[in-house]
Amino acid sequence: MPRRIVIVGGGGAALRAALGAKTVDLKADVTLISDEKLTFYSRCALPYIIEGEIESVEKTVSPDPPGTKLLRGWKAVDVDPSGKTVTAQNLETGREETFQYDALIIATGSRPFIPPVPGKDLKGVFPLRTDKDLRGLQSYIKPGGKAVVVGARFIGLEVAAALKTKGMDVTVVELLPQIMDGVLDPELAKTFQKYLEERGVKIYLNSPIQEIYGRENVEAVKAGDKKFEADLVVMATGVRPRTELAQKAGAKIGKTRGIVVDERMRTTVEDIYAAGDCTEIKHLITGTPWPTGLGTQAYRQGRVAGINAAGGDAIYPGTLGTCVTKIFDLEVASVGLTRAYAEKFGIKAVAATYKPYIRAEYYSEDKAYIRLVARVPDGMIIGAQIIAPYEAGARANIMAAAMMKGVTVDELTNYDFCYCPPVANVIEGLALAAEGLSRRLLRLRKRGR
């Protein structure tokens, strides 16, 4: 009898789980249950669809995994670990069906977190998580209209840029004292904020949302001590893992609200795996639980869960949080810890920021901001931040590969980078930043700090 694998979810983790399972066992009976009608589309693409860079959500949809039974528009409502069954309900008809499994993979993702403020349910107030959210939000976009975006991390700033491109008057309000908290140190956050403001995006920090005003439709937002007119409000205030099914199964939920999994994506319940935004994972530098929130993490976790559920052996070691975005004409990338976050975790660190030419200076005047963070006293690199018109993501990937191997700043100065005037400078910017940080570390060592 073929191995029965049930996957609950319709995103990247679920897709990769199905594909991973089939790489190990082509005869496996794989059933995928998703409460969304549209599956395997890119949530990360939604702001760029708003902007018009991508035609539609449908353009981002990945092909169905071969040899998989797909139940779209069905919600997994119960699980019985002792009997190894999952019960699902058709959301249109209400009909229920029970599925037997040998291995269950929970890839239920996350849902938007909306602060419980008055007026949050007014028309014109949207999160941006699903294709349904996208369609609703798009219906309120009008040139000359006023939009307030709540939250200044990836989604918030990507949406702000998209709405500005569409001709709206855009205000971003942020609870914290900087934008891109956890992605950029305050120094680079200020640089990037200035860039956004020069392009017409108004940003207010230390401004927690207090209330949303309106009769039926949104009319204004109060954040901090200020009130802003609004025809559209986008709540980019984070997400929370969807763990209801895992909790029914008795799986342990961790400090970050995600499902606790080991390096093989096993939950605390036998033969139940989990992957993607619904889980918490280990940070490779701090060793502490870390929330999953990146598509890259979900894909890799899903693959590992699928392989292991099918009888294979794969490991997901943890994360460095490598990430990148493109907002207007700049890429912003980060890997590992900022210095501010290193200090929060009790790690003594030193950082240096440089602004090198990306190519030979006589060929192009384009520069990048590169900030490296190293642990004191051994000089192991624990973070990198890059802002550049291009190749910021590529440099973050280089740093991720290096940091996975525990590279030090001194070692990075000797990396064998390439050079050609129209392509790369004779001394790679990462090496220049490492040289500067190495000198700073040397001074600290001489002082005995």
Please report which residue ranges of 86-215 form alpha helices under DSSP H.
131-138, 154-165, 186-198
Q: Which of 44, 278, 323, 418 is catalytic?
A: 44
Q: In what order do the strands lie in the sheet with 96-100?
A: 74-80, 85-90, 96-100
Q: How far apart are CA 290 and CA 345, in angstroms?
A: 12
Backbone angles phi, psi at 74, to 5 degrees: -115, 140
End-to-end Cα separation, the chain, in angstroms: 64
Token pair for 329:
């004409």
Tell me if 12 sits within 8 A of 299, measured CB to CB.
Answer: yes
Please identify which residue in the block is written with the tokens 């609703």: 136
Q: Where are the alpha helices (DSSP H) in 35-165?
A: 46-51, 131-138, 154-165
Computed on alpha carbons and rounded to an integer, the radius of gyration of the chain in Å comes to: 23
In one-letter notation, the amino acid at residue 204 is Y
DSSP state, residue 410: H
How far is 349 from 343, CA to CA, in rounded Å? 7
Give yes or no: 323 in active site.
no
Please enumerate in sequence order all residues whose Cβ is within 8 A of that of 256, keeping only pairs 6 or more positions apart, or say none: 241, 280, 289, 290, 291
Element (H, E) at 88: strand 85-90
CA–CA dist 282, 310 (Å, integer): 24
- Asked if residue 211 lies in contact with residue 180, where contact means CB atoms within 8 angstroms, the answer is no
Both structure tokens of 241: 């893992």
Task: State the DSSP H helix or E strand holding residue 286, giving kind and residue range, or none if neither.
Answer: none
The Cα 110–Cα 104 span in angstroms is 18
**Is 142 strand, coil or helix?**
coil
Asked whether 160 and 137 are in contact (CB, 8 A), the reply is no
Q: What are the catalytic residues?
A: 44
